[in-house]
Chain A
Amino acid sequence: MHEMSLAMSVIDIVENAARAGNFRRVSTVWLEIGQLSAVEPEAMRFCFAAAARGTLADGAQLQIIEVNGRGLCFNCGETVPLAALYDPCPACGGYPVQATGGTEMRVKELEVE
């Protein structure tokens, strides 16, 4: 599953940060997940818990900061909120709308000991 791959990459990033920043435990991980990124937050939570087992992030809380989708409508030229990549423009009903925000998947911050 896609989210399992990603969750393991998150752990990898956390472990590298631990080596660089000299900490041994991670209690909270903040992720920034865009609405258009094709990551399901619930699936990510589940996979993160599994991937963290036996690592320095075992039992860590996962905080997901969801970033709303935004796009530029090619029809009316407005920047509009976008719930999904293929949605028509909520302002004029036209399309295409090119995504300009909400595609991110990043590890933002850690609470560590």
Chain B
Amino acid sequence: MCTTCGCGVGDTRVDGKALPDAGGQSAEGPSAESSSAESSSDGDPPGSNQASPKGAGNNPAASYRALAADGRARPTAHGFAHSHRHGETHTHAGGAPAEKAGTSTGHARLVQVEEDILSANNAFAAANRRHFAEHGIFALNLVSSPGSGKTTLLCRTIEALRATLPIAVIEGDQQTSRDAERIRASGVRAVQINTGKGCHLDAHMVGHACDDLQPDEDSLLLIENVGNLVCPAAFDLGEAHKVVILSVTEGDDKPLKYPAMFHAASLMLLNKVDLLPYVDFNVELAVDYARRVNPALQVVALSATSGEGFAAWLDWLQTASRQQQAGKRATIAALQQRISELEAQLAQHARS
């Protein structure tokens, strides 16, 4: 079972392959290809401690790099090596929970933990996010009820952008690889995650999917979450933004009924506007409800089948992914600058 979120990873499949356990005894953790701070020499992990803001945690180890779930060495062109070292017992350095002085009575004592329940997932998400930032990959987590039109929307988006932007897709569904096949038919790489009885994607699964998918440098990574307006809100995947899709056949009060999702999203796509003449759906009211929950929410109304309103969405996507690429270039430039400064200093020392 997945100890990241517990939703039954025994059942989770990435392109048909079983996903290894994410936590507990099986020393594992998110990949940190560059930052050595994350993995101390004893192979100390990720876990919740360093990578998650609140972690007083003592999560399983991450020593990553280049070992696949099945133990085969993997090419790590991107270094997105999210690997496992199963079966190692992991003792956590410096992570022993503080004991309250004076509370020991006999055998019973109190141990302070102060750890976010989602810390393990958050650590995996932080590793994913760092990887995306380093490679200029703009990742979106698309969330909605089943049937709101996510896959249809993705296919049309891919068709419009694939000539100018490299695109990769992660498809999440409980069963079948039908959606990944629909995406592959549109001409881009796609990996299917089947969550079995799990009702959302988590950051651990997405890390493995990225190992398989190896998204291109400066690409767009579209992640279609499991159709569910509830729990995907709580599970950070490392995406730049959550995009919530609400179709006009679902009712304009959905943002009030499922506020967490609208709260977590940066952008709401109001889909199936071609059907507005036939349904009782008040667009202004839906937007108003959504902004009560999330005042900063951006909104684009569109139709994935007719293409109406699509230009605004493509615009948003292109602008945001260019920002991600620019962020990567700025980081690289700053690092190069720093290297030349250090080299200059070194040269000076050598002379003196």
Query: How many residues belonging to B are interface residues under a CB distance threshold of 8 Å?
Result: 56
B118 in contact (CB, < 8 A):
yes
* Of the residues A19, A74, A108, contact of B90 by C-beta under 8 Å: A19
Contact between B58 and A27, CB atoms less than 8 A apart? no
Q: How does the 8 Å CB contact mask read for A88-100 relative to B, with 1 for contact and 0 for none?
A: 1000000110110
Beta-carbon contacts under 8 Å, B227-279 to A: 230-231, 233-234, 255-256, 259-260, 263
Contact between A109 and B3, CB atoms less than 8 A apart? no
Decide if the interface of chain B is mainly helix, strand, loop or mixed: loop
B196 in contact (CB, < 8 A):
no
Contact between B91 and A106, CB atoms less than 8 A apart? no
Contact between A106 and B108, CB atoms less than 8 A apart? no
Residue of A nearest to B230 (CB): A2
A12 to B118, CA, bound (A): 11
Minimum distance in angstroms from A31 CB to a CB of chain B:
8
Sample of 15 A–B contacts (CB below 8 Å):
A4-B7, A5-B5, A8-B2, A12-B6, A12-B120, A13-B117, A17-B115, A86-B289, A95-B292, A106-B117, A107-B114, A109-B111, A109-B114, A110-B97, A112-B108
Contact between A110 and B110, CB atoms less than 8 A apart? yes
Contact between B113 and A9, CB atoms less than 8 A apart? no
B322 in contact (CB, < 8 A):
no
Q: Which residues in A have their C-beta under 8 angstroms from that of B121?
A: 9
B146 in contact (CB, < 8 A):
no
Known A-B contacts A5-B6, A105-B118; A16 and B293 likewise in contact (beta carbons under 8 Å): no
* Of the residues A8, A19, A109, contact of B6 by C-beta under 8 Å: A8
A-B contact sample (15 more), CB < 8 A, given A86-B289, A96-B292, A108-B112? A7-B6, A9-B117, A11-B6, A13-B113, A16-B58, A17-B111, A85-B260, A96-B291, A96-B294, A106-B114, A109-B112, A111-B111, A112-B110, A112-B111, A113-B109
Q: Which residues in A have their C-beta under 8 angstroms from that of B59?
A: 12, 16
Q: Which residues in B have their C-beta under 8 angstroms from that of A16?
A: 24, 47, 57-60, 92, 95
Minimum distance in angstroms from A70 CB to a CB of chain B:
15
A65 in contact (CB, < 8 A):
no
B54 in contact (CB, < 8 A):
yes
A6 to B200, CA, bound (A): 12
Known A-B contacts A8-B1, A12-B6, A74-B295; A105 and B117 likewise in contact (beta carbons under 8 Å): yes
Contact between A111 and B263, CB atoms less than 8 A apart? no
Q: Which residues in B have their C-beta under 8 angstroms from that of A27?
A: 108
Known A-B contacts A5-B231, A12-B6, A96-B291; A23 and B111 likewise in contact (beta carbons under 8 Å): yes
B96 in contact (CB, < 8 A):
yes
A54 in contact (CB, < 8 A):
no
Contact between B58 and A19, CB atoms less than 8 A apart? yes
A5 to B223, CA, bound (A): 21
Contact between B115 and A6, CB atoms less than 8 A apart? no
Contact between B110 and A17, CB atoms less than 8 A apart? no
Q: Which residues in B have their C-beta under 8 angstroms from that of A2?
A: 199, 230-231, 234
Contact between A20 and B5, CB atoms less than 8 A apart? no
